[in-house]
Amino acid sequence: MDSNPIRPISNRTPLLDRIDIPADLRRLPESDLRQLADELRTELIDAVSITGGHFGAGLGVVELTVALHYVFDTPNDRLIWDVGHQAYPHKILTGRRDRIRTIRQGGGLSGFTKRSESEYDPFGAAHASTSISSALGMAVARDLRGERRNVIAVIGDSAMSGGMAYEAMNNAGAMDSRLIVVLNDNDMSIAPAVGAMSAYLSRLLSSKSFMSLRHIAKEVARHFPRRLEDTARRAEELARSFITGGTLFEELGFYYVGPIDGHNIDHLLPVLKNVRDSNEPGPVLIHAVTEKGHGYLSAEQADDKWHSVAKFDVITGTQAKSNSKAPSYTSVFAKALIQEAEADDRIIAITAAMPSGTGLNLFGEKFPNRCFDVGIAEQHAVTFAAGLAAEGMKPFAAIYSTFLQRAYDQVVHDVAIQKLPVRFAIDRAGLVGADGQTHAGSFDVTYLGCLPGFVIMAAADEADLVHMVATCAAFDEGPSAVRYPRGDGVGVALPERGIPLEIGRGRIIREGTTIALLSLGGRLGECMKAAQELAAYGLSTTVADARFAKPLDTDLINRLMHEHEVVITIEEGAIGGFGSHVLHYLAMNSLLDHGLKIRTMVLPDIFLDHDSPQAQYDKARLNARHIVETALSALGREIIEQPARA
């Protein structure tokens, strides 16, 4: 029976319209797969033009996705995509095509693989370099249960720069568990030109008859001129020398096959089938060379291959622009850091594979010798910065909040214990909208705030960020961090140059007498709105910007406690952060013993799904109306619903 009998067949995607799940795909003759891949690419381009999202990586794996689902029996065979942002074609082929235009929207598909979304997503991932580790775990579980299934991890060359990938390969190479790793190589220098000879060698390498290097060497040598064959004294090294890149992986214990053209289905299918049908124990690595952005000219011609895009016009490639006239926090940080670096040649910038995401591409253009992209290696980035700091340099490690989590031991052991003045620029602090729970910067104040000697700042607006960058540059007594939100600023005027702030000092924005709102970071604007609404209830409200989560401005806190009936802390972070530090200070100084009403507003104890930032903060109950509700509740009053306008 047709798995989707009511779906109309279009002239644009007649084959794809017949595919609901991979079992439908496997009913097609191989001769149809080229057309199916073209239709899948057309569908991907159309869908992302409407929704925006990750794009270039998905375009690059269309043929590979088709071939993998055609050869392997998914979902019984486990197919794991590293990071997951390249899995849009995979989602289209695995029963989610009808929802692909909801991707990264509230209630819609995740922009990454997600176990709760589909049985075809055996492992959720949105951080890089995890696929081989998780796949090895699944392979060992299979073996312990005596089951039969293939486990395939698809990892990109960028993700392969993460140390965890090599830790996993080292472990897998020492075991007999059968594991297949597909290296999706769209930028690695180890890849030679791919063509007919490379395809032939790859088929040869993966065939049952030639699963040992001694046999491979003999067969390869036979296909070259007589003089080359006669002078080949070490046939094993000869074979490897013609298959550039394999030696490293084989030294790690992997049987290497490749490189093959990742866009040529006729090259992919026989290799994947050979590996699937082999009964040899141990891990195999298939090296597939692809092009990020393949099949869409605007993406192919872009330097970043259109990694992530806004909505765009399919014909012209023109992306939709933000209506905001305020600069992004990321660009403000980059320009402020450039200003500081112009005045101090000890300032160094470090990023972990996110130069444009952190704004350090701008810094690198200005100071190419003082800007370092270390790859997807946050642990190394932090200790590298620590080494620079130990020699008197002023390193700024610009790392997203959610990615800095991956280097926590290095932050503690290599930076904090040694009191080294590494400056952490923590982008994407707070909720991040479409990227959802995996990329939310929810925990940094909590996990940094417990470390002795750390100075932690949170920018309430873009002007504040400029001053905080200057503060980090000037502070040499130990580690410091400044956190700031994703997206555009609030539109305040920017200073010509940042001025270092007094460490541990906040500011009063609005004076009142009854309620005090003590904000840390990007909720300050919502606090100002809440103060205006509270005025309608006859409640005079102070709004204060803490600026520092550590050290606390205890003078400011004491003043707010003594002069107000209710004090509310507001932050866009998890429990254990700023509010917890304030409560601990109050408790230890007997300031909670006399009936003071204090409330702490933090992110809820759940992982919030992707949605618009406004909707996410509504769910988190951290917008102005929730602040008003909290204040009224503390006073034993109820909110008055405003009548709807006619």
Residues annotated catalytic, as ranges: 292, 378, 406
Sequence letter at residue 364:
G
Bond from prior residue into 75 cis (ω within 30 degrees of 0): yes
Helix (H) or strand (E) holding 468: helix 462-474
C-alpha distances in angstroms, 3 versus 6, 250, 618, 644? 9, 43, 39, 48
Phi, psi of 519 (to 5 degrees): -100, 145
DSSP state of 474: H
CB 356 within 8 A of CB 400: no
Structural contact between residues 294 and 300, judged by C-beta atoms closer than 8 angstroms: yes
State the Cα angle at 444 between 106 and 418, rounded to 5°: 160
Let me know the angle formed at the C-alpha of 439 by 434 and 441, rounded to the nearest 5 degrees: 115
Query: What is the distance between the terminal CA atoms of the chain, rounded to a whole angstrom?
Result: 54
Helix (H, G, I), strand (E, B) or coil at 482: strand
- 3-state SS assignment for residue 518: strand
Closest residue by Cα to residue 33 from 266, 195, 276:
266
| Element at 203 (helix H, strand E) | helix 196-206
d(CA 265, CA 34): 7
Given the DSSP bridges, would you call strands 541-545 and 507-510 parallel, antiparallel or unpaired? antiparallel
State how far the Cα of 300 lies from the Cα of 293, in Å rounded to an integer: 5
Contact 549, 520 (CB under 8 A): yes
Rounded distance, CA 362 to CA 367, Å? 9
What residues does 457 pair with on adjacent strands?
482, 548
Rg (alpha carbons) of the chain, rounded to whole number: 28
Q: What angle do CA 208, 211, 217 make, to 5 degrees?
A: 120
519, 507 in Cβ contact below 8 A?
A: no
- Identify each DSSP E strand in 116-175 by its residue range: 151-156
CB 328 within 8 A of CB 461: no
Tell me the C-alpha distance between 440 and 475, whole Å. 28
What CA–CA distance (Å, rounded) separates 211 from 146?
Answer: 24
Give 228: exposed, middle or buried? Use CB within 10 Å, 0-12, 13-18, 19+. exposed
- Cα gap 248→235, rounded to integer Å: 18
